[in-house]
Chain A
Amino acid sequence: MTQLSFLTSKPWIWSFAAAMATWVITMLFTGGSSFVGLSQATLTFASFSIIVGLGQMLVITLGPGNIDLSVPSTITLAGTVALKLMDGQSSWLLLGFFAALAIGLAVGLSNYALIKLLRIPPIIATLSMSFIVQSSAIWYNRGLRVKPPKVLADFTTEATFGIPNLALVALALSIFVWWLLEKSVFGRWISAIGQSPFAARMAGIPVDGARLMTYVCCACFASVCGFLLASFSGGAALNMGTEYLLMSIAVVIIGGTAVTGGNSNVPGIWGASLFMFLVVSMLNTYGFGAGVRLILTGLIIITVILAASRPSARAR
């Protein structure tokens, strides 16, 4: 009975269960010999989704209508600018990193300026912002790939004690976000805004300040992801962020964060990100064609979301 209530109170259990199941099924194909390789690859590639997912989760927590569609273009612009500034020189590493962060800051501020000052709904504001940001990336370097500095390329591709460095970065950021949400006043604020913006305002919460901070956070997470992704894959590309638009939203939803806002879930982001990588690997490993693979991916995601949302409905 206690176990059951534990399950119902933790919606993230389902994304981990799904990730675990796909992991086991994929390994069965090779009789377990792919244990280390598959696990490391999964942790590495899931890290990118985790980092963007954390930012998107904060925004979605703000309540209905809040979403950041400028994530992919922010990834692209941050990666492009940072790598071009560093120009392969390890001594310019900090400059590149802060340039990426500055881009995140600027995109986040502009997003909220559009939303607040021009009263444009977030979905439209961030979408139009993404066109501006993407065009800036095209204009800035015309899609030419600049190699990352050696130190950075090594850091992003290597592992410490068998755990990929990227996963450790993602873990540190996750703990920070978890602390932000669970232990800090700011986290209470954005949950309160997500549950009822009106009540939050009445309670004296600085709603606009909190929302602004959240959009800035989300853009900064995206820019850090772009910086790491470009360093990891040997250079920025104009289409490097495309994948992460739906991915960032999917990991939030599968992870058990309420789409309606007011309730976020950090562990779920991990489960969902691992799962999203593994499900593609599993279907690739078993050699399904692209069509079948996409349909199965969709069906599996629906199943996980249904499983994750049913207990919470019962709990209500």
Chain B
Amino acid sequence: MNFKTVIMASVAMLCAAAPLSAQADTSSKKIALSNNYAGNSWRQAMLTSWDKVASEAVKSGVVAAGDAFTTAENQATEQAAQIQNMILQGYDAIVVNAASPTALNGAVKEACDAGITVVSFDGIVTEPCAWRIAVDFKEMGRSQVEYLSGRFPDGGNLLEVRGLAGVFVDDEISAGIHAGVEQFPQFKIVGSVHGDWAQDVAQRAVAGVLPSLPEVVGVVTQGGDGYGAAQAFAAANRPTPVIVMGNREDELQWWKEQKDANGYETMSVSIAPGVSTLAFWVAQQVLDGQDVPKDLTVPFLSISQDTLEESLKSTQKGGVANVEYALEDAKAVISGAK
């Protein structure tokens, strides 16, 4: 009984202290999330993380609102209209995951002119008045080849599974992978297919090209496609190469099974969907009057042979390995960029 009271009291204290520690200046501010797409597990996790962090922040009085809006058709024009609506609705900050790096610039400029803070993340916008929380996608691609060079000092043939053709992220990661191959010339990319970041599409694309490929030692991927690639290799009765995974639970689960069965080793790298919460806190910091540099970089989340079990345990079944960022993390990222 006594213990319970102590806990109750400390919870009450925390609740009372939270608004104070987060500076009450933003308590009347409203933040909106403009999201262009919700049709895969990564985006669902991103929205869930946002919802969790934003509703807690609203409850504890850090901000007045943290609403999320998603467009139905993943079209830049539709998202531009959505941002214009947000301007009219009187939001103080708009956090954007953009359908296009350039096509939203007009709407973003309008928002800035109306005195609204715009923070873009993941799918960033090039408009100079907005903040950008970018992922170093090139490095994400390059690091895969670097990892493989450690595993295969003599090199070998690689299969590249790309994302959705024509999307900025796909070009960036692929450029990083090719830069990695230039850096480690013992590797050669013998095939390149588009898996659209979806297991079934990746499986189909890999299965189609596999019969014509020579021996492959490694598969470089972009996330959401590793399991499909593994299935295609298994279906073709070919030895499983080292497939770089992308933090999806089914990929990690498959990796764990292989590891237990035959000591299979690989790595996994992707961006945590919780990057939306980092963007939330950055927007809050800007509203708070802090000096925040316009270009920030978010670290990516990689999982190694040693951290596999631990990550698997904390990942929701069927979901994506995730981290939610707190205000302190945002402050650290901001001070790191200064």
Contacts and interface: CB of A to CB of B under 8 A. Distances in A.
Contacts of B203: 233
Given A134-B39, A290-B194, A37 B165 contact: no
Nearest to A142: B44
Interface string B294-330: 0000000000000000000000111100000000000
Contacts of B221: none
Contact of B250 (A134, A138, A145): A145
Interface residues of B, number: 42
A235 B318 contact: yes
Main secondary structure of the interface of A (DSSP, over half): helix
Interface stretch (B110-118, B132-140, B207-215): B207-215
Interface stretch (B61-69, B227-235, B279-287): B227-235
A234 interface: yes
Nearest to A284: B209
A180 B191 CA distance: 43
A146 B250 CA distance: 9
A131 B71 CA distance: 12
B48 interface: yes
B72 A144 contact: no
B200 A29 contact: no
A41 B207 contact: yes
Interface in B267-289: none
Contacts of B231: 157, 233-234
Nearest to B208: A281
B177 to A, nearest CB: 14
Nearest to A233: B200
Interface stretch (A100-108, A238-246, A255-263): A238-246
Nearest to B166: A290
B41 A45 contact: no
Nearest to B42: A143
Contacts of B194: 290
Given A147-B250, A237-B198, A237-B199, A281 B209 contact: yes
A37 B39 contact: no
A163 interface: no
B236 to A, nearest CB: 5
A243 B40 CA distance: 14
B76 interface: no
A144 B318 contact: yes
Contact of A237 (B40, B165, B205, B208): B40
Contacts of A134: 39
A109 interface: no
B256 interface: no
A144 B316 contact: yes
Interface in A136-170: 138, 141-147, 157
A38 interface: yes
A223 to B, nearest CB: 16
Contacts of B199: 145, 233-235, 237
B292 interface: no
Interface string A208-239: 00000000000000000000010011110111
B232 to A, nearest CB: 8
B198 A284 contact: no
B212 A238 contact: no
Contacts of B248: 145
Nearest to A33: B211
Interface in A290-306: 290-291, 294
Contacts of A291: 165
A238 B47 CA distance: 14
Given A134-B39, A138-B44, A290-B162, A243 B209 contact: no
A138 B44 CA distance: 8
A26 interface: yes
Interface of A: 26, 29-30, 33-34, 36-38, 40-42, 44-45, 131, 134, 138, 141-147, 157, 229, 232-235, 237-240, 242-243, 277-278, 280-281, 284-285, 287, 290-291, 294
Given A40-B235, A234-B228, A284-B208, 19 more contacts: A26-B212, A30-B211, A33-B211, A34-B212, A37-B210, A38-B211, A42-B208, A45-B208, A134-B39, A138-B44, A144-B41, A144-B316, A229-B200, A233-B199, A233-B231, A238-B38, A240-B200, A287-B191, A290-B166
21 contacts: A26-B212, A34-B211, A37-B236, A38-B211, A41-B207, A42-B208, A44-B207, A45-B208, A141-B318, A142-B44, A146-B317, A146-B318, A237-B199, A237-B200, A238-B38, A238-B44, A277-B208, A284-B208, A284-B209, A290-B166, A294-B165
